[in-house]
Amino acid sequence: MSNVLTDDCRTHDAESTRKLGYLLGRCAQAGDVIICAGALGAGKTTLIQGLAAGLGVDEGQYVRSPTFTLMQIYRGRHTVYHFDFYRLTHDDEVWDIGFEDCLEAGGVVVMEWGDKFPSVLPAARLEIRFEIISADDRRITWTSFADSHQHYHDVDIAELAR
């Protein structure tokens, strides 16, 4: 398996980050595993709100950091399993909260602080990294390590400007 895709963009407000999430979510397919990595307040939940919308999750299913619940499920074109590893201290806890079952369920699995326990990550994953440039500016880079992720080539970041 090789690093088959990498791209990045800068967003200047939360709405653009949400829209990038929407574009990624529109392309997402059953079985995809997506990790979001970046500091507190970098925009991980914001992007996942858009990702869920792009996966057909209706707005009534409010998307926020599952920091305390650890995992939330949304029903869309595919079921979305939204994890937050922020409060976990050991990789054993990832298995305790049902991560493996969700990986096998055939939906889309997305994790905030997903880079915290590299040992639990499947090799085939999309990694989205957030860098805070200033109060409202973020650099967002997404990289796929899966030959099966060709569908993310369909993300057209020119649409962010529209």
Ligand X SMILES: Nc1ncnc2c1ncn2[C@@H]1O[C@H](COP(=O)(O)OP(=O)(O)OP(=O)(O)O)[C@@H](O)[C@H]1O
Q: Which of residues 82-141 bind Mg ion (CB under 5 A)?
A: 112
What residues have CB less than 8 Å from 123, skipping those under 6 apart?
1, 145, 146
Stretch that binds ligand X, among 37-45, 74-82, 98-106, 146-154 (CB under 6 A): 37-45
Q: Count CA atoms within 13 Å of residue 136 on its CB side.
A: 5
Q: Residue 72, interface with ligand X (CB under 6 A)?
A: no
Question: What angle do the packed helices 14-27 and 44-54 form, to 10 degrees?
Answer: 40
Question: Rounded to the nearest 5 degrees, what angle is found at the Cα of 9, between the Cα atoms of 42 and 52?
Answer: 60
| Total residues interacting with ligand X, rule: CB under 6 A | 17
Please tell me whether residue 7 adopts helix, strand or coil conformation: strand
Q: Residue 82, interface with ligand X (CB under 6 A)?
A: no
Site string for Mg ion, 33-62 (x = CB under 5 A): -----------xx-----------------
Structure tokens at 60: 């009534």
Q: Residue 18, interface with Mg ion (CB under 5 A)?
A: no
Instruction: Note the residues at the interface with ligand X (CB under 6 A).
Output: 11-14, 17, 38, 40-46, 65, 112, 136, 138
